[in-house]
Amino acid sequence: MTATAVSPRLELKGISKRFPGVVANDHVSFQVPAGAIHALLGENGAGKSTLVKIIYGVQQADEGEIVFDGKPVRIGSPREARSLGIGMVFQHFSLFEAMTVLENIALGMDNPPPRRELEARVREVLASYGLSLDPHRHVHTLSVGERQRIEIVRALLQQPKLLIMDEPTSVLTPQEVEQLFETLRRLASEGCSILYISHKLHEIKALCESATILRGGKVVASCDPREESARSMAELMIGGSLKDLSQKSSGAAGKERFVVSALSAPGEPPFGTSLKEVSFAVRSGEIFGIAGVAGNGQNELLAVISGEDAAGISGSIRLDGTELAGLSVGARRRAGLASSPEERNGHAAVPGMSLADNALLSARSRMGLASGGVIRAKAARDYAGRVIEAFSVKATGPGAAAGSLSGGNLQKFVMGREIMQDPAVLVVSQPTWGVDAGAASFIRQSMIDLARQGAAVVVVSQDLDELLELCDRLAVINEGRLSEPMDVKGISIERVGLLMGGIHGGQAAETRVGAKAEAHERRPEPAL
Amino acid sequence: MNLDLLVAILMTVAGAATPLLIAGLGELVVEKSGVLNLGVEGMMLIGAVTGFAVATSTGIPVLGALAAMGAAAAASMIFAVLVLTLMANQVATGLALTIFGTGVSALIGAPFVGITTPTFGTIFPEALTASPLLRLVFGHSPLVYFGLILTVAVAWFLNRSRAGLILRAVGESDSAAHAIGYPVLKVRYLAILFGGAMAGLAGSYYSLVLTPMWAERLTAGRGWIAIALVVFASWRPGRMLAGAYLFGLVITMELQAKAAGFNMFAPELLAALPYLATIAVLAIISAAKRGGANAPACLGKPFRAAA
């Protein structure tokens, strides 16, 4: 690289951070020029989050130096970061559900103006970037995309010189992603540097002009994403070659195994979504996808199918012709319906209990881990051990606490626990959420293998790419309604995106924002 | 019913409601910051005995009330250190604080049993309290007015001031507040301190105004009603006012029924009336709202700064 007279916006020199037993960052150095969109890539646990927390002052580096606009700086707190001109949009939004948009924005500022003036400035920023958001709505009534806009507006109001985006697109519809990219490109053209963290390599290809790749806390490569393929970057991240998914089922699916018809359910107050006449049918050997933006009834659907939610349900759920509606969770499991909810820790698994005990929780009847009310501890340990072995879960053994596993490993364990019971129907939500590329591809492969053995598999996911890769057919859920299923072959991404945003039929894309706001108004506001 | 009696009853209602209101508003602020302090009863007893001791020794009731606030706030700091810095369980620690307060107040109060204390006068001139209706407006103890002002002040603080916004944010999501850069523990320390001072003041109202004397367990469980009222009020100061006066009415009815020789029920059953009403109201509220939708999301959870 040739030396330039202009100093970079941000330069890291040998940043190291150690936690007991692990080196999160090991002499990380790179620089981001002014107005550049720079990607930070790496698998879970590669040290990306720690690094950005250090830049944003949430944590302090043990060693190394941060140079900002040519001056060495010490960033002791987020407040100091903001005063330098560093803004951050968090992966898990730092928003307050029970408060309004305006209150949330005020909380993110150090010296907010009086609320009228603030509201005027917020509206000004929204208008100038073409974002739609009502400052007076309570956060819990907003879609995930709208929530993210709050964080972005909050950052923009400070007129940042460097904006850090941590996994910003994981929960957005394709159209929302495009809109976000336009905003970011515009910001960059105005001279703001952007440090962009993501797993989604094709997005990085589309957006970023340079990238630093971290593995095990070290910088292992830097590249120009526009000149790399998604595959080559993925291989740099995992430090090995990526396995292809073996061909999904040939489409010669068998008879209908799992039929849900006219399923309706009331949403859990205060913020739940009600299900409205959901119907779909999955054949033997088929993988059926349910796409949609978070909070449109996915959790409710899963709870109703698994039998967790039984109050006020109407409609039918049939497995090989047997009616399951009205049966308990255990009876459904015995009938061959396995399910795994979105939340791993605390819903699919009990973090404080051992893997053997967690195996017992969902596999006791099908695998005979408890008989006559007595636990067969050895059988449970053996089963957990077999799951660990078959799904290459990194754990010390069946006695390890579920909470001690990394997200990807726990997910592998949970999926293995269900799949190895050889279910007739598997229903999973967000099977690869927050899971690194290697584990994600393993989990997807295992679902394909299960389908090949004749099971019907239903995958609920917000990750459209995953569904397109995995499924034979998919449908979109919006506001508790499920669209007509579509064949994945030759599917129109634009149409899926519109369905995710709540548009049915053939309205033009221009009407999307207005019509979407309308869709939200129809959602009953909880009494406050 | 004659006017004099009606006014007397209404004034009793205000008197019975005021300590519930003041202690309840203090606990409301504490809970809004995400901390559940079940030690209100103990802090009220510490306030009651300290207020009584200082007022009788100095002869100045205002000093008694101030000392009550200070002593109860000091007791609340024991709780704060345990649950915030040492991350002890909030429910268990709060219960321990109540037991501690009950014991300490009995110990300190032993020499004061059976003597009387100078009490607060009214703050308005004699002429203003001549007729019954004027008395209803101007004839109360200063603390009754303080309770009303406090309601407005707490409502304004929580909903209109920046500090109140931060306090609510800390109670709503401590991790998000920390990520933005707010001092979660400091906010909670201050909230607990305020809650302690208000519980102490409410306690001193029993020993300096309502019954100007000291007896063991003088507050008779009213601290628990104050905590229940926070839920009843769904964490809103305006509803706290309504709730406190409603319970003031229930308590007054109990007293009036006793005085009128109403003996259809055993007196013990009548004495249980406010507590039965508490249980009934809480059951109805949680049935109607499916577990209090307005509760601060981080209520009762210890905060550990992410490493």
Structural domains for chain A = 10-238 (3.40.50.300), 256-522 (3.40.50.300)
pLDDT band, very low/low/confident/very high, at A405 (cuts 50, 70, 90): confident
pLDDT for A439-484, tens place per residue?
A: 888 899 999 999 999 999 999 988 888 898 899 999 999 888 999 9
Quick one: average pLDDT of A389-414? 87
- SS3 per residue for A18-42: EECCEEEEEEEEEEECCCCEEEEEC
CB A446 within 8 A of CB A391: yes
Residue type, B179: A
CA angle B290, B292, B297 (to 5 degrees): 120
- Supply the pLDDT for residue A66: 94
Cβ distance of B297 and A97 shorter than 8 Å: yes
- Supply the pLDDT for residue B1: 59
pLDDT band, very low/low/confident/very high, at A526 (cuts 50, 70, 90): very low
Helices (H) and strands (E) in chain A, counts: 17, 23
Residue segments in chain B with a per-residue pLDDT below the cut of 50: 291-292, 307
pLDDT band, very low/low/confident/very high, at A496 (cuts 50, 70, 90): confident
Cβ distance of A99 and B172 shorter than 8 Å: yes
- Supply the pLDDT for residue A523: 36
Does the predicted TM-score (pTM) go above 0.95?
no
Interface of B with A in 181-240 (CB under 8 A): 181-182
Residues of chain A in contact with residue B181, where contact means CB-CB under 8 angstroms, are 57, 77-79, 82
Instruction: Measure B189 CA to nearest chain A CA, in Å.
Output: 20
- Supply the pLDDT for residue B251: 86
Cβ distance of A94 and B290 shorter than 8 Å: no
Q: Does A62 touch chain B (CB under 8 A)?
A: no
pLDDT band, very low/low/confident/very high, at A509 (cuts 50, 70, 90): very low
Structure ipTM: 0.77
Quick one: average pLDDT of A489-496? 84
Residues of chain B in contact with residue A105, where contact means CB-CB under 8 angstroms, are none
Instruction: Measure B230 CA to nearest chain A CA, in Å.
Output: 16
Contacts for A122 with CB less than 8 Å, ≥ 6 apart:
A101, A102, A105, A135, A153, A157
Quick one: average pLDDT of A239-254? 64
For residue A399, pLDDT over 80 is answered with: yes
Q: Does A94 touch chain B (CB under 8 A)?
A: yes
pLDDT band, very low/low/confident/very high, at A248 (cuts 50, 70, 90): low
For residue A495, pLDDT over 70 is answered with: yes
Quick one: average pLDDT of A358-379? 88
Quick one: average pLDDT of A246-251? 56
- Supply the pLDDT for residue A252: 57
For residue A253, pLDDT over 70 is answered with: no
- Supply the pLDDT for residue B307: 43
- Supply the pLDDT for residue B129: 75
Residue with the larger pLDDT of the pair A19 and B165: B165
- Supply the pLDDT for residue A3: 45
- Supply the pLDDT for residue A92: 65
How many CB atoms neighbour CB A323 within 10 A? 11
pLDDT for A286-338, tens place per residue?
A: 999 999 877 788 888 999 999 988 888 899 999 999 999 889 999 999 999 99
Residue of A nearest to B236 (CA): A528
Residue with the larger pLDDT of the pair B31 and A522: B31
- Supply the pLDDT for residue A508: 35
A132-141, A392-401, B117-126, B297-306, range with the lowest pLDDT: B117-126
For residue A249, pLDDT over 70 is answered with: no
Cβ distance of A94 and B297 shorter than 8 Å: no
Instruction: Measure A85 CA to nearest chain B CA, in Å.
Output: 14
- Supply the pLDDT for residue A141: 78
Quick one: average pLDDT of A39-46? 81
- Supply the pLDDT for residue A527: 35
CB A260 within 8 A of CB A317: yes
Q: Does A16 touch chain B (CB under 8 A)?
A: no
Question: A-B interface: how many C-beta pairs under 8 angstroms?
Answer: 56
Quick one: average pLDDT of A172-181? 81
Percent pLDDT > 90 in chain A is: 41
- Supply the pLDDT for residue A510: 34
pLDDT band, very low/low/confident/very high, at A404 (cuts 50, 70, 90): confident
Residues of chain A in contact with residue B177, where contact means CB-CB under 8 angstroms, are 94, 96, 107
pLDDT band, very low/low/confident/very high, at A507 (cuts 50, 70, 90): very low
* Sign of CA pseudo-dihedral A387, A390, A391, A397: positive
- Supply the pLDDT for residue B116: 83
Indicate the CATH number for domain B3-117+141-289. Answer: 1.10.3470
Interface of A with B in 325-364 (CB under 8 A): none
- Supply the pLDDT for residue A524: 38
Nearest by CB to A106, from B165, B294, B307: name it.
B165
Q: Does B297 touch chain A (CB under 8 A)?
A: yes
- SS3 per residue for chain B: CCHHHHHHHHHHHHHHHHHHHHHHHHHHHHHHCCCCCCCHHHHHHHHHHHHHHHHHHHCCHHHHHHHHHHHHHHHHHHHHHHHHHCCCCHHHHHHHHHHHHHHHHHHHHHHHCCCECCCCCCCCCHHHHCCHHHHHHHCCCHHHHHHHHHHHHHHHHHHHCHHHHHHHHHHHCHHHHHHHCCCHHHHHHHHHHHHHHHHHHHHHHHHHHHCCECCCCCCCCHHHHHHHHHHHCCCCHHHHHHHHHHHHHHHHHHHHHHHCCCCCCCHHHHHCHHHHHHHHHHHHHHHHHCCCCCCCCCCCCCCCCCC
pLDDT for A44-94, tens place per residue?
A: 678 888 899 899 998 899 999 999 999 999 998 888 998 899 998 876 667
